[in-house]
Amino acid sequence: MKPDLSVWLGRRVRVVVDRPLGCAHPRHPDPIYPVNAGELPGTVSGDGLPIDVYLLGWEIPLTEAIGQVVAVLVRADDDEDQLAVVREGTRWDDGEILAATAFREQCFQPPFTAFPKHSP
């Protein structure tokens, strides 16, 4: 069963990057990651592995980052959902989050939904 990741909304988190910006997925040559992606150490998602995260707002490849969780990308046809974490001090609306993550999220059906943080 998938955990409810909405409890992470608004939290400041440390992300360890395992797919830096510009790399390919280890099992799939396409697409090239236009954002850094990684995981929250010490957590468990629906697949039994740490919770996966997209890092938005960093323009260079990273090994880790600290940012704020602003959305949960819900995957109806997958064992895990994904968090969107942004660079502190930046603001992202739903459309920007969806556009930045579409390179990967377009693989999941039905269409994904982001649940943004509603407080300033």
Tell me, what DSSP letter sits at residue 87?
E
Please give the DSSP secondary-structure letter assigned to residue 81.
-
**pLDDT number for residue 120:** 39
- Tell me how many degrees the CA angle 26-99-102 measures, rounded to the nearest 5: 35
Read off the amino acid at residue 98.
L
pTM: 0.84
Q: Please give the domain boundaries of the chain with CATH numbers for all domains.
A: 5-114 (3.90.80.10)
User: For 72-107, how does the pLDDT look when each residue is reduced to its tens digit (9 = 90+)?
Assistant: 888 665 668 889 999 999 999 988 988 888 766 555
